Amino acid sequence: MLQLHFREMGQGAPLVILHGLFGTLDNWQTLARRWAEAGHRVIVVDLRNHGRSPHAPEHTYALMSQDVLGLFNQLQLGPDATLMGHSMGGKVAMRFALDYPQQLGKLVVVDIAPRFSDMRHQDEIVAGLNAVPLAALENRQQADEALAQYIRQVDVRQFLLKNLYRRDDNSFAWRPNLAVLTAEMEDIGAEISAEQPFLKPTLFIRGGKSDYVTTEDKLYSIPTLFPNSQVETVVDAGHWVHAEKPEEVFGLVKAFIEQ
């Protein structure tokens, strides 16, 4: 169990937020501030091997679920808490809800289903990150140019470059544990399953232009594990629903946790 890095703001019923693969708690900062202003105690978290949280040789959902349990215990979060996760963080949130249902009041999952996800769509990103010549870098522009050989979308490169930082000796490094995440990529796609379903209220938010949550998921894999769930589609949004349509996500989550 690792002690996770987190940031906390606001007061009220707790809302804990988990980012996706190669993300950090900063990805949710703007929305977190708005939910805090709306009367909630919001806790944004860096998962293991990401952001400022510790690195470890293993990266499984069972272990990440235990890390989150450690955080819940540390912050004395009770059954009035809502846990929300996007993509990989959504799978961590599902695993946690199924492992420790007594710890949670509600669950929110953003654009991911419990079924196995083929992670080959991450191949170019992984290859690009590993190809950046960190030791020879003089500036961020050079890193962007190296990434551009693999990743054409400017917004994806900008998202990834948020993980690049300067060490005390002025050399560049990645915040994520790239070696472990590269080796464990298949585990990151693992199916979430359980003997017993999570019976408390659950909200799935999916992007209308994303294929991470299919109609089949909506009919089968989701209600099997989360029978007390609803699926809301944000039209014209892709996988990064919260970045593309923050207003819609803000309203859906606020209404769900306050109802």
254 pLDDT band, cuts 50/70/90, is very high
pLDDT digits over 192-216, tens only? 999 999 999 999 999 999 999 999 9
pLDDT at 121: 82
Question: What integer is the mean pLDDT of 7-16?
Answer: 97
SS3 content of the chain, % helix, strand, coil (to 5): 45, 15, 40
Average pLDDT over the chain reads 96
pLDDT at 101: 97
Asked if 98 and 113 count as a contact pair (C-beta separation under 8 A), the reply is no
Virtual torsion, Cα 19, 103, 100, 71, nearest 10 deg? 50
pLDDT at 33: 98
CA dist 21 → 72, 136, 160, 222 (Å)? 21, 26, 10, 21
Asked if 95 and 64 count as a contact pair (C-beta separation under 8 A), the reply is yes
Asked if 164 and 214 count as a contact pair (C-beta separation under 8 A), the reply is no
Asked if 80 and 257 count as a contact pair (C-beta separation under 8 A), the reply is no
pLDDT digits over 144-176, tens only? 999 999 999 998 999 999 999 999 999 999 999
**Distance between CA atoms of residues 94 and 198, nearest Å:** 9
Residue 103 is given by DSSP the state G
Cite the beta strand spans of the chain per DSSP E: 6-9, 13-18, 40-45, 82-86, 106-110, 164-166, 172-174, 202-207, 229-234
**Distance between CA atoms of residues 49 and 162, nearest Å:** 15
Tell me the domains of the chain and their CATH numbers. 6-116+191-258 (3.40.50.1820), 120-185 (no CATH)
pLDDT digits over 119-144, tens only? 888 899 999 999 999 999 999 999 99
